[in-house]
Amino acid sequence: GVMVATNAAALSEVWGDIQRAAGAMERILELLHTQSGLIVPRQPQPIPDIIAKGVEFRDVRFNYPSRPQQHALRNFSLDVSPGETVALVGPSGAGKSTVFQLLLRFYTPQQGRITVAGVDIVAADPGQLRERIAIVPQETAIFAASVRENIRFGRLDAGDEDIVKAAEAAAADQFIRALPEGYDTFLGERGLRLSAGQRQRIAIARAILKNAPILLLDEATSSLDAESEKLVQTALQHLMEKRTTLVIAHRLATVLQADRIVVINHGQIVASGTHRELLKQQGLYARLAALQFGNLDI
Ligand code: ATP
């Protein structure tokens, strides 16, 4: 019936997004393979709902199965306290996204361990683990459905009021109400196209709706106009509040707001500190910051 057709259209669109985002087919196949081969414990250890212990990587070493010679992460230890925001910065290929992949248990480290709220994620149910984590990806997947349903994707049992509240917190309510049919406006390939900044705020609304204690934010690299940038920044502030956040940072505003910046190079943490502290060291961070953020006289 209609539901099936809608799902098929939505699915084909997501699939297109995945292909564009991931690029190489090899990566997708490897991901699917890894997920299907995932060992789920028979009696998983529950991860508490209120996370008082944050996230910890302890001496993690990892290489992707297709590249046994190359360590994507090594000697990797990182403690993120509850409510803390840690920004990950580093050159392309340094291992930043790998940190997310491992935390979400799309892959399992060859050595070391990762704990969430004190629970080794290998001992947890991957489904429950992923319920505790909200993700804002670089590219927002928009489904062939109404704005309302696109936001509901953050939490499928959310009521319409919760969706509006999430949109308000994500600084999206105003532009949504200005659309031809408001929250009922149809999006996707055959529907209305949103701007990059609007799509990002939809992704943020989804994450707010999910209300998970841990947030993984892969900041978009595309630049927005000043007005849109300000709205996205406001939305992000709401989202990050009180959550344990790891952000792959591409914006100056984000690193300035972070409690700590961790610099990753060749799979290892090479420095950490605040923006000012790291600039003073005149090392990799200072060079990256000059390239990525431009003028640093603040
Ligand atoms: P970018 O800023 O470009 O996204 P990154 O810091 O996020 O880079 P990762 O994507 O974590 O870097 O990659 C770390 C290393 O692992 C790189 O050498 C990369 O080529 C490799 N890698 C990443 N994903 C895979 C994969 N699915 N299979 C094999 N190798 C991979």
The Å distance, Cα 80 to ligand 1 centre, comes to 22
Joined together, the tokens standing for residue 237 give 């502030």
pLDDT tens digit sequence for 226-238: 888 889 988 998 8
Task: Flag the least confident range among 32-36, 98-102, 113-117, 180-184.
Answer: 32-36
The Å distance, Cα 37 to ligand 1 centre, comes to 21
3-state helix, strand, coil in the chain (%, to 5): 40, 20, 40
Beta carbons within 8 Å of 197's beta carbon, 6+ residues apart: 224, 225, 228, 229, 231, 232
The continuous run of DSSP H or E covering 207 comes out as helix 196-210
Residue 127 dihedral angles phi and psi, to the nearest 5°: -65, -45
Q: How far is 175 from 253, CA to CA, in rounded Å?
A: 23
The Å distance, Cα 98 to ligand 1 centre, comes to 6
| Residue with token string 């989804």 | 206
Give the mean model confidence (pLDDT) for residues 143-147: 94
Q: Is the CB of 67 under 6 A from ligand 1?
A: yes
Burial degree of 221 (CB within 10 A; 0-12, 13-18, 19+): exposed
pLDDT at residue 296 is higher than 80: no
In a 13 Å sphere around the CA of 191, the CA atoms on its Cβ side amount to: 21
Q: Is the CB of 221 under 6 A from ligand 1?
A: no
The Å distance, Cα 267 to ligand 1 centre, comes to 9
Quick one: pLDDT at residue 263? Answer: 97
ipTM over 0.85: yes
Which residue's C-alpha comes closest to atom 29 of ligand 1? 64
Q: Is the CB of 27 under 6 A from ligand 1?
A: yes
Q: How far is 197 from 142, CA to CA, in rounded Å?
A: 13
Q: Is the CB of 126 under 6 A from ligand 1?
A: no
Give the mean model confidence (pLDDT) for residues 72-99: 96
pLDDT tens digit sequence for 241-258: 889 999 999 888 899 999
